[in-house]
Amino acid sequence: MDSFLQRKLKNYLESTGLSVSALERKAGLKINVARNILRGQSKKPTANTLQAIANVMECEVSDLLGIKKESFTSEMKPADDGSPLMDRPQILQESLQSLLKAINEGESQVTLKQALHMLEEVYVYSVKRDPPQIDEHFVKWFVKRTVG
């Protein structure tokens, strides 16, 4: 039974009409390196060999090996960490606009981590107000307090 790598190589060669020796030349490989993979004689090709083949095939080594990449979004799980739900997108947008305005007016150097922390605090404070709304004075005070 063929390995994933063997099937991937065979499919590529069939779909492009490229010969095994042409693949080896394009990849800068020694003669029979790819052929040995296809025959099952090379079960553990080197990382350099795999990278050279991947470059020719215009894919990633992980694609050759059938390794599924975890995407950032697949790692995102529903928040059960005590963080607030973002159930008022308009307030979030207004919080961000107000925060950016206060940061720019104060000509402060702010890290992304600080900005995200401040955005969360401004958002939570704003949605707890009755009625939920942005308090510009709070935002300015909070920015000064956070970034000095």
147 versus 143: which is more confidently predicted?
A: 143
Which positions ≥6 away from 81 have C-beta within 8 Å?
Answer: none
Mean pLDDT value across residues 10-29: 93
Mean pLDDT value across residues 22-31: 94
Which positions ≥6 away from 5 have C-beta within 8 Å?
Answer: 37, 45, 64, 65, 66
Report the C-alpha dihedral over residues 78, 83, 88, 92, rounded to 10 degrees.
-120
Q: Is the pLDDT of residue 71 over 70?
A: no
> For the residues of 74-104, what is the DSSP string, one character each?
HH-----SSPPP---HHHHHHHHHHHHHHHH
How confident is the model over 83-131, as pLDDT tens digits?
Answer: 677 788 999 999 999 999 998 888 778 888 888 988 999 999 999 989 9
CA–CA separation, 71 and 22 (whole Å): 34
The DSSP call for residue 67 is: P
Specify the pTM. Answer: 0.47
Identify the pLDDT of residue 47: 92
79 versus 58: which is more confidently predicted?
A: 58
Mean pLDDT value across residues 32-59: 92
Instruction: Tell me if the domain spanning 4-65 has CATH number 2.40.50.140.
Output: no
Identify the pLDDT of residue 74: 45
For the chain, the structural domain boundaries read: 4-65, 89-147
